[in-house]
């Protein structure tokens, strides 16, 4: 009788520990979406630390992966205070956004909700930097996926 209870408890723990993803669709290709995101990040004065083409990585080992690219970026004015409050936040900073094409060819952008950063690393949910990261991610990804 305890095994079903244990299994149910573990399943619930796995569910609550999962990070919330915020997703948007893009009318642009994956590469163009990430180009647009990169331009928006730089125009906002943040730093792009890396751009990873996961599909190219897959191709380098003779595997197929639909277009998938990740942009890693941040602003030390926001990230440093978060890490001062909880240095393990460095595991999830700089911020990352992935763009990918699904099986139907629809392009999506996805990122973790910064509220999860606070919960995972014991940071105050109402910390100014969490609010600012949330707003910045929404604004930057909205620019990346805008139809214009």
List pLDDT tens digits, range 28-69. 999 999 999 999 999 999 999 999 999 999 999 999 999 999
List pLDDT tens digits, range 76-120. 999 999 999 999 999 999 999 999 999 999 999 999 999 999 999
pLDDT at 72: 98
Q: What's domain 20-145's architecture?
A: 2-Layer Sandwich (3.30)
pLDDT at 148: 82
Q: Which token pair is 44?
A: 């906002």
Strands 47-53 and 95-101 turn out to be: unpaired
Question: 145: closest CA among 104, 115, 109?
Answer: 109
**Under a CB-based contact definition with an 8 Å cutoff, are residues 116 and 91 in contact?**
no
**pLDDT at 5 exceeding the cut of 90:** no
**Under a CB-based contact definition with an 8 Å cutoff, are residues 71 and 96 in contact?**
yes
Three-state SS for the chain is: CHHHHHHHHHHHHHHHHCCCEEEEEECCCHHHHHHHHHHHHHHCCCEEEEEEEHHHHHHCCCCCCCCEEEEEEECHHHHHHHHHHCHHHHHCCCEEEEEEECCCCCEEEEEECHHHHHHHHCCCCCCHHHHHHHHHHHHHHHHHHCCC
Query: Model's pTM, two decimal places?
Result: 0.85
Q: Give the domain ranges of the chain.
A: 20-145
């Amino acid at each position: 009788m305890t095994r079903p209870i244990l299994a149910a408890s573990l399943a619930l723990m796995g569910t609550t520990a999962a990070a919330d993803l915020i997703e948007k669709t893009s009318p642009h290709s994956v590469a163009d979406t990430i180009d647009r995101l990169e331009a928006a990040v730089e125009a906002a004065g943040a730093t792009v630390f890396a751009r990873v083409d996961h599909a190219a990585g897959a191709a380098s080992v003779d595997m197929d992966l639909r277009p998938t690219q990740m942009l890693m970026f941040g602003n030390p004015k926001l990230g440093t205070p978060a890490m001062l409050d909880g240095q393990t936040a460095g595991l999830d900073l700089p911020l990352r956004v992935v763009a990918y094409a699904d099986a139907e060819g629809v392009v999506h952008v996805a990122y973790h909700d910064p509220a999860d950063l606070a919960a995972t690393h014991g940071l105050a949910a109402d910390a100014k930097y969490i609010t600012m990261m949330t707003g910045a991610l929404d604004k930057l990804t909205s620019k990346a996926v805008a139809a214009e």
